[in-house]
Amino acid sequence: MGKIRTPYLLLLPGFAFLFTFFILPIVNLAQTSTQTPVGGGDTGQYEQTFRFQNYIDAFVENKEQFGRSFVYALIATLLALAISYPLAYAIAFKAGKYKNFLLVLVVAPFFTSFLLRTVAWKQILGEEGFVVPTLRTIGIISDSTTLTSTSFAVVMGMTYNFLPFMTLPLYASIDRIDPRTLEASGDLYANGFTTFRKVTLPLSMPGVVAGTLLTFIPAAGDYVNAAILGSPNTKMIGNVIESRYFKIVDYPTAAALSFTLMAAILILVTIYIRKAGTEELV
């Protein structure tokens, strides 16, 4: 009997942590999302009235920010995939004895604060950086064009900050591919592109799925990049939630927006996994 109980006892600390810091806050958030203000909203106090109209009102009022958040997250995810896949492939198959050193460089940004990395991008894309003067010199942008406080800056910041989340799962997946499989493809007269399309990419899809999820999910709810690198015209839903919680002190709307964001991400992730999940690639 003791041996049967042991696995469950080992699960208790993790479950207690999960219950305290995830389940309880989620339940409290759900209760808050259906509350209404007491006394017309000037008192800062709320009562439970189970007003589910809060969800509809919150979404309709902020649908533009919702759409912008998912568009930015999608673009950042695709850019991160385009950058990370060749990088992960090179580290896995071409780096040799420098493999560990390159992996350290990939995770090196985590040694500094997320906030500091984002502020650094504001300087890089600012007038004092090298990007804007270089683009003006070669005629890509005009003298009056700036890159800060634009959607371009927000997406670039998101792409950079979440790049390791894409690279590491891709590397782990590609590194497990047996090089003899690629050699066998060449022996069967497949060129490099065919080998990649028929062998390398399908075998690395678990890493692609994991990397895109680890990038898209936090990017959709991000607000730091939009707050530092963007403008009021590039505000994302995370910025709206932050403002509702800490500035406007409209807890029900903020909670409703948070639940709507979680539901939307959950639906999109479920559809994505069913369409491109690893269970369909085996």
Give the pLDDT confidence score for residue 43 in this predicted structure.
62
What does pLDDT average to over the chain? 89
Give the pLDDT confidence score for residue 38 in this predicted structure.
83
| pLDDT tops 80 at residue 118 | yes
| pLDDT tops 80 at residue 262 | yes
Q: What angle do CA 144, 80, 281 make, to 5 degrees?
A: 150
The two tokens of residue 156 are 């670039």
Q: pLDDT band for position 281 (50/70/90)? A: very low
Q: Which fold has domain 62-280?
A: MetI-like fold (1.10.3720)
Average pLDDT on 41-70 reads 88
Which residues have C-beta within 8 Å of that of residue 106, sequence separation ≥ 6? 87, 91, 163, 164, 167, 168, 171
Q: What share of the chain is helix, strand, coil (3-state, %, to 5)?
A: 80, 0, 20
| pLDDT tops 60 at residue 175 | yes
Q: pLDDT band for position 282 (50/70/90)? A: very low
| pLDDT tops 90 at residue 127 | no
Return the DSSP state at 44: S
Give the pLDDT confidence score for residue 214 in this predicted structure.
94
* CA distances (Å), origin 190, targets 6, 89, 95, 186: 53, 19, 24, 5
Cα 141 to chain centroid distance, Å, stands at 29
Domain locations along the chain: 62-280
How big is the chain by its Cα radius of gyration, in Å? Answer: 23
State phi, psi for 37 to the nearest 5 degrees.
Answer: -70, 150
Which residues have C-beta within 8 Å of that of residue 44, sequence separation ≥ 6? 37, 249
> CA torsion 81→87→92→93, rounded to 10°?
120
- DSSP letter string, 145-178: ---TTSHHHHHHHHHHHTHHHHHHHHHHHHHTS-
Question: If we measure between CA atoms, which residue out of 15, 47, 11 comes closest to residue 32?
Answer: 47
Average pLDDT on 206-229 reads 94
Percent of the chain past pLDDT 70, that is, above it, reads 95
- Predicted confidence (pLDDT) per residue in 64-115, tens digit: 999 999 999 999 999 999 999 999 999 999 888 899 999 999 999 889 899 9
Give the pLDDT confidence score for residue 273 in this predicted structure.
86
Percent of the chain past pLDDT 90, that is, above it, reads 60
Burial 25-52 (b: 16+ CB within 10 A, else e): eeeebeebbbbebeeeeeeeebeeeeee
Give the pLDDT confidence score for residue 142 in this predicted structure.
86
- Predicted confidence (pLDDT) per residue in 154-166, tens digit: 999 999 999 999 9
Return the DSSP state at 36: E
Question: If we measure between CA atoms, which residue out of 207, 198, 213 comes closest to residue 175?
Answer: 207
